């Protein structure tokens, strides 16, 4: 894959995922009482709702900053692993309801891979 195609695909993923996480984080923080209640119903501390909502909002913004993209994508991977796990084990509807979380997890992994430093080979 050429460097320009790799860069184009990475930028498309950054923008799409960035907007998704900004929207998801904003929605969690906007309706914090029900978000904290949902986390509580899952057996998680309510304060974690603030952490996840804030991390998603700031992470979405961070995905759009070139120097931070790889680090932010790896950080959001942790949140999405937790989301997929919760969908698979505790949230009614199972993993079928967690398809968006699973897709985000995969796309973040692809973004981390695309944004890894390219080391030129010498021959």
pLDDT score of 68: 93
Q: Is the pLDDT of residue 1 over 90?
A: no
Domain ranges for the chain, please list them.
3-114
For residue 57, the 8-state DSSP code is H
First to last CA, the chain: 19
**Rounded Cα–Cα distance for residues 71 and 100 (Å):** 21
Confidence category of residue 91, pLDDT binned at 50, 70, 90 = confident
Q: Is the pLDDT of residue 123 over 70?
A: no
pLDDT score of 44: 93
pLDDT tens-digit series, residues 63-88:
999 999 999 999 999 999 999 999 99
Cβ–Cβ under 8 Å, residues 100 and 106: no
CA-to-CA separations, 54 to 7, 43, 48, 67, in angstroms, rounded = 28, 20, 10, 20
């Amino acid at each position: 894959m050429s460097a320009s195609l790799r860069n184009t695909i990475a930028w498309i993923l950054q923008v799409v995922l960035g907007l998704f996480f900004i929207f998801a984080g904003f929605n969690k923080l906007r309706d914090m009482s029900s978000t904290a209640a949902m986390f509580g119903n899952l057996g998680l501390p309510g304060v974690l709702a603030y952490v996840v909502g804030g991390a998603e909002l700031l992470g979405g913004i961070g995905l759009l900053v070139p120097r931070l993209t790889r680090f932010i994508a790896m950080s959001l991977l942790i949140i999405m692993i937790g989301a997929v796990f919760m969908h698979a084990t505790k949230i009614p509807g199972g993993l079928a309801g967690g398809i968006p979380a699973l897709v985000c997890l995969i796309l973040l992994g692809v973004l981390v891979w695309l944004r890894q430093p390219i080391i030129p080979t010498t021959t």
